[in-house]
Amino acid sequence: MNGQGPRRLHQVELTSDRLRQMARELMAQADALDAMVERPKKKRTAVKLIDPRKEEHNVRI
């Protein structure tokens, strides 16, 4: 930054309404993409937390 205050990106005013609209559109796109992607089921992983002050604990995530 050169200390001249906030810069405008290509002289476009981004009002909060416009930003909210853009965010809504992006969220809609993300939801649509999300629906198209098939994900394998998450495998549950056993993790061992070792605390030198206590005995070991097995924790499931």
**Is 2 within the bounds of a domain?**
no
> Per residue in 7-54, pLDDT tens?
655 666 678 888 889 999 999 999 888 888 877 777 777 776 666 666
The reply to whether 28 falls in a domain is yes
Q: pTM of the full predicted structure?
A: 0.38
Nearest to 14 by CA among 23, 5, 2: 23
HSE-up of residue 54 (Cα within 13 Å, Cβ side): 7
In a domain, 53, yes or no: yes
The number of folded domains in the chain is 1
Domain assignment present for residue 29? The answer is yes
Q: Does residue 6 lie in a domain region?
A: no
Higher pLDDT, 5 or 20: 20
